[in-house]
Amino acid sequence: MSNPLLDTSSLPRFGEINPDHVLPAIQQLISSHREQLNTLLAQNSDPNFKSLVVPIELMEHELGRVWSPVTHLQSVLGSRDWREAFKQALPLLTEHGTEISQNVRLQRAYAGVGDSLAADACESHRSAVDHALRDFHLAGVDLPEADKNRFKEIMQELAAIQASFEHNVQDAMDAWSLHIESADDLVGIPQQTLDRAADDAADRQLGGWLLLLNYPTYDAIMTHAHDRQLREKLYRAWSTRGSDQGDNPEWDNSDNIERILALRHEAANLVGFDNYAEYSLATKMANSNDEVLDFLRELAARSRDAAEQELSDLQEFSEMELAPWDITFWLEKYKQAKFSVSNEELRQYFPAKTVISGLFALAAKLYDVSLEQGHDIAVWHQDARYFSVKNSAGEVIGGFYTDIYARNGKRSGAWIDECIGRQHLNGKTELPVGYLVCNFPPLDDTGLSLLTHDDAVTLFHEFGHMLHHLLTRIDIPSVSGINGVPWDAVELPSQFMENFAWSYEVLSECSSHVKTGEPLPREMFDKLEQTRTTGAGLAMLRQLELGMFDFRLHAEYQPDNPITALQMLDDVRKEVSLLKHPEYNRLPHAFSHIFAGGYAAGYYSYKWAEVLAADAFSAFQEVGIFDLETAQRFRHEILEVGGSRDIMDAYIAFRGRKPTIDALLRQDGIQAE
């Protein structure tokens, strides 16, 4: 096959595909799928699931397989060529997706299949059809032709602007640096960070140290740098990324934000919703805007006293009024003073490779699987790895790539994405494969990357998502794995897994001191465990601030008199936040989750799902966290079912009841046991 990107017979051929392959592959595939669709509709006078839905699912699955490496590589390589290829192909895919979703003949055919399904039809078949019919409506299939065309234009423009938003953030981060020549300015900063900064300076023929704007560096400075002015410099750089207040105003996202909000509101109105928040909830567990806001405000009200006490304790401890760039530093100092444990001391016990090994051992214990590294699999970077996942019989059930170390040009944050979704519709089974990406400190000259405990929690979180993708037993791609799961429940498996990173039995397997090889001492873990609830109230209010800002911004948007993102943020902070933020703070301008990702009017999902996760983990705590019967029930009722089942029904089948927020408040130490 001349274009390796079109080869879906195996894993992506990362050693061969290049940006020049992208546009021809997408053009060819879309053209082929259009022909197939026209033939399918012409020949299907009496459609059923096998004759209509199966071929549609297979086409979407194939397109996903071809596009997935493109979206992945433009995120992790920092290549202008890959970014340009992505930008060229994205409008074609957006147009094609809207074209299918607005195809009246296809919608009617799906409706006919839905009517013909027997009452006892396979649950996954019913869900796939119901989800498709819902999505037809959300894409404007019922609209007059002029409105349908306008909706299509909106989707095209949104895709382009959202990509521009994220690229602006990345460009601003890549362009920023701070050259430090005096060691006196770097007191308190971990050696691992200093070594990396020295290497970065040397790479540019500079002496001293060069601080870059990636998350590991930013976090290290904010947590450990004694120099308050240095902390504020990093805070300012981080909080002004992609804005008029940053060093590169040519990458200002202000206009992008306004246009994104206007387009989303217009699209929602076109298909019958009062605002984009209502439109967003059509695919979520929550039933109304009021339900979401009431949920967020209840959590805020029940957390406020604890947060106020925490802030008072920190200010008394530091003997100063704290600014946003002080909180993390003094919280770390407070933990050290109160519990005699520090992030840097803990870091010595968490080499990345040891944490990964222990995490894999936990998955084996809970879900009876084994994970083995593949050594002859093509990858995109020397840091990337591939692992196959096998069941108890030794049969491969899936696989995943990892790329966990930070580097310039790589998108910040941590995430998983689908490489291949599970499907068994055409006589053969395609197994799920995913990408797991983090931005941990790069390997040093000895091959070590030492993680903080927070880093370990992040890794557990993303691996929870990956297990959700890998352990699915659903054969229909649109409702397999994470697909089709309500967005405010997607975080349940990930946040559930975080809890195991707070278990001594687990951490003793995930730790080995960098010099002695000894696991984390029990005494040190006990101190670490005491820190879990320290600052939890402030952290809760911070997340609620983000969730409320996002939701209200989309729910209250008025095109004739739009409130700006900064005005809304100020309003929300007056209601929720305890800190005074500087005028230059431009949080929205780098809030890629909601302006470039899938969390628009859905950032509340983190807290919504955290309630589910805390409540679910309490089921394990009641019988022992390694209880195999409970683990298998969680796997069967939650991880395996994908979007084939109503998530609340699935949760009740696992837990025996609906969740309550009390487990989360107890877990965070906000509510007494």
Write out the catalytic residue numbers.
Answer: 462
Q: How far apart are CA 165 and CA 593, in angstroms?
A: 11
Both structure tokens of 318? 């530091």
Beta-bridge partners for 418: 434
Residue 596: which of 550, 643, 540, 544 has the closest Cα? Answer: 550
Is residue 642 within 8 Å of residue 512, measured between CB atoms? no
Q: Which of 625, 278, 299, 240 shows the shortest CA–CA distance to 460?
A: 625
The values of phi and psi at residue 154, to 5°, are: -60, -45
Taking the C-alpha atoms of residue 87 and residue 164, their distance in angstroms, rounded to an integer, is 9
Give the helix/strand (H/E) hosting 191: helix 191-203
632 near 569, Cβ under 8 Å?
Answer: no
Find out whether 19 and 84 touch, Cβ atoms under 8 Å. yes
DSSP state of 432: P
467 φ, ψ (degrees, to nearest 5): -60, -35
Backbone angles phi, psi at 433, to 5 degrees: -135, 140
CB neighbours of residue 574 within 10 Å: 8
Round to whole Å and give the CA distance between 141 and 150: 12
Q: Cα–Cα distance between 571 and 48 in angstroms, integer?
A: 52
Sign of CA dihedral 591, 593, 597, 599: negative
